Amino acid sequence: MEEWSVVHKVSILGFLGAALFGATASKTHFCIMGSISDWINMDSRVRFRAWMLSIGIAILGAQGMHHLGWLDLSGSIYLGANFGLTGFLIGGVLFGMGMTLGAGCGQRTLVRVGGGNLKSLLVLIVMAITAYATLRGLLAIIRIEVFDALAIDLGARDIADQGIGTLLAHFTDTSAVAVSRIVALVLGLGAVWYALKDRDFRASYDNLLAGTVVGLLVVGAWYVTGVIGNDDFEPVMIEAITFIAPTGNTLNYFMTWTGSEINFGIAVVLGMIVGSFVYAVATGNFRIETFMTRADMRNHLLAGVLMGFGGVLSLGCTIGQGVSGLSTLALGSLVTLVAILFGSALTMKVQYYMLDEGFWPSLRQSLADLRLAPRTLGS
């Protein structure tokens, strides 16, 4: 029997890990957009703390392996010397807006598809097409000529990469390794502490489970691609869990089956859907859900475009940049995370005020609520 190639081994492990992710997200209702909604609308941060727990675990695990010499995170896309600030900001905001209009980020979209949601299936298809067009199609012209052209070349300033530790060390004239270790401990332990200090969160088994499993799966993904995939003859790109660009690659994989080969990212996309599908069927929660109004369909169509385009510009999503990217301590990941939070929160506010007012008054009131504009008289 022919031995499996490194690519196939990595892909199988990615599929299995993602299937566990999909099942766990289905069981626990792990949803970044939902956690932001809970915070904005109900002043509850319990689900948000699950996200923070996953970030803390991912940082500690990934940085631990990096500093032990098991793998080299500098080879990941997040730590490049080209700092695409404009793409991180605009792409992040667009992605945050899209995930709110589509009732879920890339991760949640895949989970809902596995559960039978046809609205999310439409989002997934549009998101995949837009993402691939932004990577290699017509929209790539905009990405390259506008956003890539505005990227800041850190190498020209004698800065090796965009790691937070590297940048701090450069401006303080200290050791990048030592500073990076301190930053990893502060951010990693800080995120874990923020999550676990809350009594309501500690009492929520589902949220504890979700945060722990997602964080460990991101660490596991770095190990799979960075250690198992680190082969001299058949090297695999070091990466963790992300969903936007891989959805586009998955679509292309099925369209050009005979000329394509599966990879870790494609396997993760498929694993998420299969895992959530199996859990939904096993628990009797699988059901077909479709659009009730034209407005709902328009929102989901727009959501797919915004997430596909914005996710590629910002190099990831709430998991790709928000957990996997942040675990590398890349400044771009932190910027993208903030931009996604802003885009999502602003969209939620605007949607709420538009129940009674037009778009522009709703936008002004929303910006005022976020303390980014003065309040109007009588508000």
Judge whether 374 lies within some domain.
no
234 phi/psi in degrees, rounded to 5: -140, 65
Q: Give the length of the chain.
A: 379
pLDDT higher than threshold 70 for residue 55: yes
Judge whether 306 lies within some domain.
yes
Q: Which of 246, 241, 245, 221 is nearest to 91 (CA)?
A: 245
What's at 4, amino acid-wise? Answer: W
Q: Which of 236, 206, 233 is nearest to 221 (CA)?
A: 236
Per-residue pLDDT band at 170 (split at 50, 70, 90) = very high
Burial class (CB in 10 A: 0-12, 13-18, 19+), 257: exposed
pLDDT digits (tens, 9 = 90+) for 73-84: 999 999 999 999
pLDDT digits (tens, 9 = 90+) for 322-345: 999 999 999 999 999 999 999 999
Q: Which residues are bridge partners to 153 per DSSP? A: 82
Q: What per-residue confidence (pLDDT) applies to 140?
A: 96
Q: What per-residue confidence (pLDDT) applies to 377?
A: 46
Mean predicted confidence (pLDDT) in 302-314: 97
The CA–CA distances, whole Å, from 75 to 225, 226, 325, 350 equal: 11, 9, 12, 40
Q: What per-residue confidence (pLDDT) applies to 4?
A: 81
What does the alpha-carbon distance between residue 210 and residue 25 come to, in Å, rounded to a whole number? Answer: 7
Q: What per-residue confidence (pLDDT) applies to 2?
A: 55
Q: What is the mean pLDDT of the chain?
A: 94
Per-residue pLDDT band at 3 (split at 50, 70, 90) = confident
pLDDT higher than threshold 70 for residue 35: yes
Q: What per-residue confidence (pLDDT) applies to 376?
A: 62
Q: What per-residue confidence (pLDDT) applies to 260?
A: 83
Mean predicted confidence (pLDDT) in 241-256: 94
Judge whether 114 lies within some domain.
yes
pLDDT digits (tens, 9 = 90+) for 184-230: 999 999 999 999 999 999 999 999 999 999 999 999 999 999 999 99
Judge whether 378 lies within some domain.
no
What does the alpha-carbon distance between residue 109 and residue 119 come to, in Å, rounded to a whole number? Answer: 9
Judge whether 375 lies within some domain.
no
Mean predicted confidence (pLDDT) in 303-313: 97
Q: Which residue has the higher pLDDT, 35 or 373?
A: 35
Burial class (CB in 10 A: 0-12, 13-18, 19+), 367: middle
27 phi/psi in degrees, rounded to 5: -65, -45
Domain of 25, in residue numbers: 7-369
Judge whether 376 lies within some domain.
no
Judge whether 2 lies within some domain.
no
Q: Which of 336, 308, 306, 339 is nearest to 324 (CA)?
A: 336
Strands, E assignment, the chain: 82-83, 152-153
Q: What per-residue confidence (pLDDT) applies to 335?
A: 97
SS3 of 164-182: the string is HHHHHHHHHCCCHHHHHHH
pLDDT digits (tens, 9 = 90+) for 110-167: 999 999 999 999 999 999 999 999 999 999 999 999 999 999 999 999 999 999 999 9
What does the alpha-carbon distance between residue 303 and residue 135 come to, in Å, rounded to a whole number? Answer: 18
What percentage of the chain carries pLDDT values higher than 70? 98
What does the alpha-carbon distance between residue 205 and residue 300 come to, in Å, rounded to a whole number? Answer: 31
Q: For the chain, what is the domain count?
A: 1
Judge whether 212 lies within some domain.
yes
Mean predicted confidence (pLDDT) in 243-263: 91
pLDDT higher than threshold 70 for residue 378: no
Which is it for strands 82-83 and 152-153: parallel, antiparallel or unpaired?
antiparallel
Per-residue pLDDT band at 1 (split at 50, 70, 90) = very low
